[in-house]
Chains A and B, each alone.
Chain A
Amino acid sequence: MTSSTDLTERPTPAGPAVTPHPPVPAPRRRSGPPRPRAPFRPHHLFFYLLLGGVALSSISAYAWVFNVSMKTNREFISSPPWQIADAWRWDNYVNAWNQANIGLFFGNSVVISVASTAIGVVLAVFAAYPLARITFRFSGVVLSTFLLGLMIPWMVTFAPLYLIMQDLGLLDSRLGLVLVYATYNLPFNVFVLVGFMKTLPYDLEEAAAMDGAGPARTFISVILPLMGPGLASVAIISFLQNWNEFFYALLLIHSPEKMPLPLGLFQLGQAADYGTNWATLFAGMMITVTPVLLGFAVLQKQITKGLTAGALKG
């Protein structure tokens, strides 16, 4: 249940991994092998305290959610927030899995989030390039148009958006949701990527042109490989946004077989609000959050690698 006929046109993401060697020497950035762990220095104490505090708060948050997911509803209400659950109640998880239709919705969520993130990031990186590196008359206007997208609160545009989706026949379709998500990722992605591209040395293109590379090739083989950190950041952020987005999903998808995960969680949330069914909500949270966290933990290595890869080339 992870593929969809709606999505056959999905482009493959272009990334640093598939690019050929740059025809120019890498810019003057970090060189040499990765640095070893820094020896302890006094200001590190400040870092450890700060990070320790943040780590503690986020671990406690997860501990709390997990603990509640093991309680009964009555226990949740009547015991202090941090009292340990008195038994392992995995049946909360079974209930959550069945009630929120997690198996089905999870597949939908993966397809929708991955496709929309890919489209949003790829289109944004292409659009950002001319905006950041080529001066043309209306570049300011085009950039502002993109940035306007950051500033429109969704509550006002949803009614016209619904009508246009209806006219295009994209209502209640995963493709429609993917296109909407991708569009709403674009402004942020363009904004961030333009910022990143602007900080790249300006002699890159000139050097590539000297070597006889055309502008498109220069972009693919010189600029893209240096975009590692920027691309990684916007991809993660877009993905998370698309993964957690709730309102448009509720608005645009009506058939249960096409719904993404937040709609399942939403129903659990309502059951908690109007039926004191908290334990199931928290179990559902754990189920939906764990794969994302694991994914992040695994990808983190790739991302960190991606962050340094650009610099190690050449």
Chain B
Amino acid sequence: MLKAAQRRIIIPFLIPALALLGIFFLYPLIKTVDLSLNEFSRTGTMRFVGIDQYRLLTGDPAFFNSLKNTFLLTLIGSGMLFPPAMAIAWALSQRIHGERFFRFVVFAPVVLSVAVVSLMWKFLYHPTLGLINPTLESMGLGALAKIWLGDPSTALAAVTFVSVWHGIGIWIVLLCAGFERLPTDVLQAARIDGAGEWRVFWSIMLPMMLDLMRMLAILWVVQSLQTFAFVYIMTGGGPFGSTDTVGTLMYRVAFDQADFGYAAAIGVVLVVVMLTVAKLLNKVMKRDDLQY
């Protein structure tokens, strides 16, 4: 009876959102697939070429290079993002002193625009005038000084770090919400049983937040596979393609070369890749639904 009653609300609840999604998203999406089967002139006239664009894509080293970099960025970024975000969210859930202050400052960079953050870090990374190298040198660690953005072996990590630094606040807010929702009595019970905080974290908090973690991991993958702005502003994909992501490649193809068909094909492949990765990730991280 409950089920039957609930079914009545499915449609009215879904319709408004689906209507917006249909008009402003699904329709352009269908058109995008359509675009990818065409060749474009700069003026926007198109000619149907079937799967030619996809065939071109399979032999394009720039595409595979960008795909590789995008995956690397996702991987490096998740390492830079999740451990500190988790630790900070945990810390903030501990009602430590200055919690409100810390919450505020941790979140503050999110509000800065990407352009300004990129500009600032470009100066901080500057090999001779910046902050990082001169500091390292003055500490006698000159050997660690690198041409961060100009060295193909460090550039991708350097850009990824900036994007993580800028956005970590959002992830912490999401994780904090997760910590807030943990059942206090279970945690208290564990503490009363003599479990140390570290133990509580590992054996109780983490497993209970696994669902959330899975969600965030997928979200991170999806978001970083689309990375564009930081790379575009800080390195433009260089040095020699070592930071080129699928996003920056698509931008160049679409806007510099006005080749919307090819850009759309890249986009469609990217979507397929994302769906596959998300699905895999979901499977790997899937546990029996915890209900508490």
Q: Classify A-B as touching or not with yes or no (CB < 8 A).
A: yes
- A binding-site residues for B, Cβ under 8 Å: 28-31, 35-38, 41, 43-44, 46-48, 50-51, 54-55, 57-59, 61-62, 64-65, 80-82, 119, 123-124, 126-127, 129-131, 133-136, 142, 145-153, 155-161, 164, 168, 179-180, 182-184, 186-188, 190-192, 195-196, 198-199, 201-202, 205-206, 209, 214-216, 219, 229-230, 232-233, 236-237, 240, 244, 262, 265-266, 269, 272, 281-282, 285, 288-289, 292-293, 296-297, 300-301, 304, 307-308
| A264, chain B: closest CB distance, angstroms | 11
Give the 6 A-B residue pairs with the shortest CB-CB distance, closest first.
A160-B31, A156-B267, A47-B91, A229-B177, A127-B17, A157-B28
| B241, chain A: closest CB distance, angstroms | 19
Cβ of B82 within 8 Å of any chain A Cβ, yes or no, is no
| B195, chain A: closest CB distance, angstroms | 13
B35–A160 CB distance below 8 A: yes
A96 to B44, CA, bound (A): 37
> Which chain A residues lie closer than 8 Å to B266 at the CB level?
156
Cβ of B107 within 8 Å of any chain A Cβ, yes or no, is yes
A208 to B202, CA, bound (A): 35
A281–B116 CB distance below 8 A: yes
| B107, chain A: closest CB distance, angstroms | 7
| A221, chain B: closest CB distance, angstroms | 14
Cβ of B8 within 8 Å of any chain A Cβ, yes or no, is yes
B120–A214 CB distance below 8 A: no
Q: Can you list 18 A-B contacts with CB-CB less than 8 angstroms, sorted by A residue number?
A: A36-B95, A37-B95, A38-B95, A44-B94, A44-B96, A51-B106, A61-B120, A81-B130, A150-B223, A153-B270, A156-B260, A157-B31, A187-B25, A192-B174, A199-B290, A229-B181, A233-B177, A307-B176
> Which chain B residues lie closer than 8 Å to A31 at the CB level?
184-185
A269–B115 CB distance below 8 A: yes
Closest to A35 in B: B95
> Which chain B residues lie closer than 8 Å to A230 at the CB level?
177
A156–B180 CB distance below 8 A: no
A157–B25 CB distance below 8 A: yes
B215–A307 CB distance below 8 A: no
Closest to B185 in A: A28
> Which chain B residues lie closer than 8 Å to A308 at the CB level?
180
With beta carbons under 8 angstroms apart, the residue of A65, A201, A229 that contacts B291 is: A201
A215–B5 CB distance below 8 A: yes
Given the interface pairs A38-B94, A81-B124, the reply to whether A292 lies near B197 with Cβ below 8 Å is no
| B144, chain A: closest CB distance, angstroms | 18
Cβ of B112 within 8 Å of any chain A Cβ, yes or no, is yes
A269 to B275, CA, bound (A): 36
Given the interface pairs A50-B84, A57-B165, A205-B2, the reply to whether A229 lies near B91 with Cβ below 8 Å is no
Closest to B267 in A: A156
- Proximity string of chain B (263-282) to chain A, C-beta cutoff 8 Å, 1 when within and 0 when not: 11011101100110010000
B131–A82 CB distance below 8 A: yes
B32–A37 CB distance below 8 A: no
Count of residues in B whose CB is under 8 Å from the partner chain? 109
Cβ of B88 within 8 Å of any chain A Cβ, yes or no, is yes
A126 to B15, CA, bound (A): 9
A59 to B176, CA, bound (A): 21
B10–A130 CB distance below 8 A: yes
Given the interface pairs A51-B106, A58-B105, the reply to whether A151 lies near B275 with Cβ below 8 Å is yes
Given the interface pairs A64-B120, A157-B32, the reply to whether A126 lies near B102 with Cβ below 8 Å is no
Cβ of B49 within 8 Å of any chain A Cβ, yes or no, is no
A157 to B270, CA, bound (A): 13
Given the interface pairs A127-B13, A307-B177, the reply to whether A296 lies near B104 with Cβ below 8 Å is yes
Interface stretch of the complex, out of B55-63, B71-79, B151-159, B247-255: B247-255
B17–A190 CB distance below 8 A: yes
The residue among A134, A155, A292 with the most chain B CB atoms within 10 A of its own CB is A155
Closest to A181 in B: B24
13 new A-B contacts at CB < 8 Å, known A130-B14, A160-B32? A41-B197, A44-B91, A50-B87, A54-B168, A65-B116, A127-B17, A145-B18, A153-B250, A153-B270, A157-B267, A196-B181, A301-B100, A304-B100
Closest to A182 in B: B20
With beta carbons under 8 angstroms apart, the residue of A192, A209, A272 that contacts B2 is: A209
A160–B116 CB distance below 8 A: no
